[in-house]
Amino acid sequence: MQRMRTNDRGGRRRCASWSLTLALCFAAAHAQALSETDRAPPLSLDAAAQLAAAQAPQVQAQQLRAQAAQDDAVRAGQLPDPKLVVGIDNLTATGAQAFDAAADDMTMRTVGVMQEIPARAKRKAERAVAGADMRIADADAIAMRLATRRAAAGAWVAVWAALRERELLADLRAQSALAAAAGKAKLRGGTGDATDALATRAAAVELDNRIDAAEADMAMARAALARWVGDRAAGELAPAPDFSALPVSPAQLLGSPDRQGPLLGWSAREDRAQARIDLAKAGKRPDWSISLNYGERIHRPDMVSVMVGFSLPLFPGDRQDRDIGARYAERDAVLAEHEDARRAQHEAVASALAAWQGDGRQVRRYRDELLPLAEDRSRTALAAYRGGASLQPWLDARRDEIDIRVAYARALAAWGRTWVSLAYLVPDSGSAAEMPR
């Protein structure tokens, strides 16, 4: 009995030892994971864009469509599969020996192979159509990557601007505390009144509300960024790029709309429309077929037959000519739509450039003039209040400074968004994966 108790205690000790070991291993793994998270570099705007383009489901879906178009292009223009023909010829159908294979010497069982051979021009046009479809799919895949990069970069800018707004507002807390302390000191010293003390307290609460609103905007912006980059959205952001310079010059953007994401597939669409015209014209060329049959007869020698057939496009007015006319109309429609898309893209780029330049001027004016003036006015009014002047000038200056800081942060956000809309329009010429075939 004593031995059983001793063994029981030893088992409990071993179990406790194993539990402690597992707990230590789990804690070490958790600490390592946290350490790796802490070591993650700050997320830059371009890194967010690249990460989104690499893992976004819509980009992967478009790449799969491009792969499907490549497979279709490989099989386009190939000869159709041959047909196996099996039958019975010259079988008696009436009389006492109806449907008896041995009733007549001419009855034979046949087996053969038939190959249809479309016109060479038709197969060539089919390959051209499939090749254009493949180029369209490739261009759409590139356009989707660019659109995904713009969306992720725009989400990054929203987070960065919300952080900047919160910082700009949080910097005012020290001045609010100084004003509240001055109001209390005056009230205790008999030189102030309760109204001023309450007003300084209300100003501090109003500032807290504005900071809370900025933090809510930041949380929503991080949620939008997380759609593209996952857990990296919760981490630190790298400094913003230089929004005053574009990767591609404005002159190049205005002069080459066809190289920009929304228009990359239009040239291939024109090629496809022309290839469909060629395919319709090839409908006037006769297709042909060839077949080889072997016939087995019961009482006579076996027979072999070779047959060649041709299609006869005898009535093109209501068939092939109508098809050709319809394809020409489609081609002209594609040309007109391409021109409209080109004009719309030129307008969009010109508008974005005007907005980007205007936002830049506003940001510089806020940074170099309005913010310093608002700070000086607020600081001067507070010093005057502490020296015995009225509180109202400081309250007015403080409210204006808050509005100016918020407006500055939102001008930064608008500047960043317009920069993003222009910076990710043209594929990276240094990457073969970004160039349409």
Looking at residue 307, its amino acid is M
Asked if residue 30 is part of any domain, the answer here is no
CA pair distance 206, 226, nearest whole angstrom: 30
- 198-206 LR contacts (CB < 8 Å, sep 24+): 199/391, 199/395, 200/176, 200/391, 203/176, 203/179, 203/395, 203/398, 203/399, 204/173, 204/176, 204/177, 204/179, 204/180, 206/402
CA pair distance 403, 383, nearest whole angstrom: 21
Exposed / middle / buried, residue 194 (Cβ in 10 Å: 0-12, 13-18, 19+): exposed
Asked if residue 20 is part of any domain, the answer here is no
Instruction: Give the CATH number of the domain where residue 140 resides.
Output: 1.20.1600.10
pLDDT for res 92:
83
The pTM for the full model equals 0.79
DSSP string, 315-380: -GGGTHHHHHHHHHHHHHHHHHHHHHHHHHHHHHHHHHHHHHHHHHHHHHHIIIIIHHHHHHHHHH
Asked if residue 162 is part of any domain, the answer here is yes
Asked if residue 218 is part of any domain, the answer here is yes
Asked if residue 35 is part of any domain, the answer here is no
Asked if residue 42 is part of any domain, the answer here is no
CA pair distance 228, 214, nearest whole angstrom: 22
DSSP 244: T
Alpha-carbon distances of 238 from 46, 157, 392, rounded to whole Å: 10, 11, 40
pLDDT for res 300:
84
Phi, psi for 114 (deg, rounded to 5): -125, 135
Asked if residue 34 is part of any domain, the answer here is no
Q: Which domain holds residue 360?
A: 50-434
Closest by CA position to 269, among listed 140, 78, 146, 433: 140
Residues in CB range of 170: below 8 A, 6 or more apart: 211
Q: Give the tokens for residue 152.
A: 């992720």
Q: Give the tokens for residue 338.
A: 């391409």
Output the tens digit of pLDDT for each of the chain's 437 residues: 444 444 444 444 444 454 444 444 444 444 454 444 456 789 999 999 999 999 999 999 999 999 999 999 999 989 899 999 999 888 888 887 787 877 787 888 899 999 999 999 999 999 999 999 999 999 999 999 999 999 999 999 999 999 999 999 999 988 888 888 887 877 777 776 788 888 888 888 999 999 999 999 999 999 999 999 999 999 999 999 999 999 999 999 999 899 999 999 999 999 999 999 999 999 888 888 999 999 888 888 888 989 998 888 878 877 888 989 999 999 999 999 999 999 999 999 999 999 999 999 999 999 999 999 999 999 999 888 888 788 888 889 999 999 999 999 999 999 999 999 999 999 874 333 343 34
CA pair distance 36, 32, nearest whole angstrom: 6
pLDDT for res 181:
82
Asked if residue 78 is part of any domain, the answer here is yes
Q: Give the tokens for residue 38.
A: 């802490």
Reduced to 3 states (helix: H, G, I; strand: E, B; else coil), residue 93 is coil
CB contact at 8 A, 176 and 200: yes
- Which residues, in sequence order, are bridge partners of residue 288? 117, 310
For the chain, the domain total comes to 1
pLDDT for res 327:
93
